[in-house]
A and B are shown apart, each in its own frame.
Chain A
Amino acid sequence: MMRHVTSWVTPRSIVIAGLIAILVLLPAYTRMTGNQFPLTLFTRILILAIAATSLNLILGYGGMVSFGHAAYLGLGGYAVGILAHEGMTSGFVQWPLALVVSALFSLIVGALCLRTRGVYFIMITLAFAQMIYYVAVALDRYGGDDGLTIYRRSEFAGLIDLGNKTVFYYVCLALLLAAIYLGARLVNSRFGMVIQGARSNERRMRAIGFPTFRYRLACFVIAGTLCGLAGVLLANHTDFISPAVMHWTRSGDLIVMVVLGGMGSSFGPLFGAVALLVLEEALSGITEYWQIILGPLLLLVVLFARRGIDGVLDAVAWTRLFPVKRLEAKAGRG
Chain B
Amino acid sequence: MLLIVEQCLNGLQFGLLLFLLAAGLTLVFGIMDLVNLAHGSLYMIGAYFAASFAVLTGSFVAAALLAFVATLLVGMAVEVIAMRRLYGRDHLDHVLGTFGLILFFNELVRLIWGPAGLSLPLPAWLSTATEILPGLYYPTYRIAILVVTLAVALFLYVLVMRTRVGMLIRAGASNREMVGALGINIKLLNTLVFGLGAALAGLAGLMQAPILTVQIGMGENILILAFVVIIIGGIGSIRGAFIAAIVVGLIDTIGRAFLVDLLRAVLSQTAASTAGPALSSMLIYLMMAIVLVLRPEGLFPASGK
**Residue ranges of A at the interface with B (Cβ–Cβ < 8 Å):** 59, 65, 67, 112, 115-120, 122-124, 126-128, 130-131, 134-135, 137-141, 248-249, 252, 255-256, 259, 289-292, 294-299, 301-303, 306
Q: Is B227 an interface residue (CB 8 A)?
A: yes
Known: A123-B227, A295-B101, A295-B107. A256 touches B292 (CB 8 A): no
**Minimum CB–CB distance for B97 against chain A, Å:** 4
Given A115-B293, A124-B289, A255-B95; 13 other pairs, CB 8 A cutoff: A119-B235, A122-B95, A128-B289, A134-B285, A252-B99, A256-B96, A294-B103, A295-B103, A296-B104, A298-B97, A299-B82, A302-B93, A303-B85
| Set of chain A residues within 8 Å of B292, measured between Cβ atoms | 112, 115-116, 120, 124
Return the chain A residue nearest B92 by Cβ.
A65
B100 x A295 contact (CB < 8 A): yes
Known: A122-B35, A134-B281. A249 touches B220 (CB 8 A): yes
Q: Is B108 an interface residue (CB 8 A)?
A: yes
A299 x B91 contact (CB < 8 A): no
Q: Give residues of chain B (74-110) contacting chain A, Cβ–Cβ below 8 Å.
A: 82, 85-86, 89, 91-93, 95-97, 99-108, 110
Residue of A116, A138, A141 with most partner-chain B CB within 10 A: A138
A259 x B96 contact (CB < 8 A): yes
In the assembled complex, the Cα of A61 lies from the Cα of B102 at a distance in Å of 27
**Residue ranges of B at the interface with A (Cβ–Cβ < 8 Å):** 29, 35, 82, 85-86, 89, 91-93, 95-97, 99-108, 110-111, 220, 224, 227-228, 231, 235, 274, 277-278, 281-282, 285-286, 288-289, 292-293, 296
The 4 closest A-B pairs by CB, nearest first: A295-B104, A298-B100, A138-B278, A134-B281
| Set of chain A residues within 8 Å of B235, measured between Cβ atoms | 119-120
In the assembled complex, the Cα of A138 lies from the Cα of B89 at a distance in Å of 39
B99 x A256 contact (CB < 8 A): yes
**Minimum CB–CB distance for B234 against chain A, Å:** 10
In the assembled complex, the Cα of A236 lies from the Cα of B104 at a distance in Å of 32
| Set of chain A residues within 8 Å of B102, measured between Cβ atoms | 249, 295
At the interface, is chain A mostly helix, strand, loop or mixed? helix
At the interface, is chain B mostly helix, strand, loop or mixed? helix
**Minimum CB–CB distance for B276 against chain A, Å:** 8
State the total of A-B contacts with C-beta under 8 angstroms: 126
B91 x A118 contact (CB < 8 A): yes
**Minimum CB–CB distance for A304 against chain B, Å:** 10
A291 x B107 contact (CB < 8 A): yes
| Set of chain A residues within 8 Å of B278, measured between Cβ atoms | 134-135, 137-139
What are 29 pairs between A and B in contact, CB < 8 Å?
A59-B92, A65-B92, A115-B293, A116-B296, A119-B35, A120-B231, A123-B231, A124-B289, A127-B228, A131-B282, A134-B278, A134-B281, A135-B278, A135-B282, A138-B278, A248-B220, A248-B224, A249-B220, A255-B95, A256-B99, A259-B92, A290-B107, A291-B107, A292-B103, A294-B100, A295-B105, A298-B103, A299-B100, A299-B101
| Set of chain B residues within 8 Å of A140, measured between Cβ atoms | 274
| Set of chain A residues within 8 Å of B85, measured between Cβ atoms | 303
In the assembled complex, the Cα of A140 lies from the Cα of B260 at a distance in Å of 15
B100 x A302 contact (CB < 8 A): yes
In the assembled complex, the Cα of A298 lies from the Cα of B85 at a distance in Å of 14
| Set of chain A residues within 8 Å of B82, measured between Cβ atoms | 299
Residue of A115, A139, A141, A248 with most partner-chain B CB within 10 A: A248
Return the chain B residue nearest A248 by Cβ.
B224
Known: A124-B292, A302-B96. A289 touches B111 (CB 8 A): yes
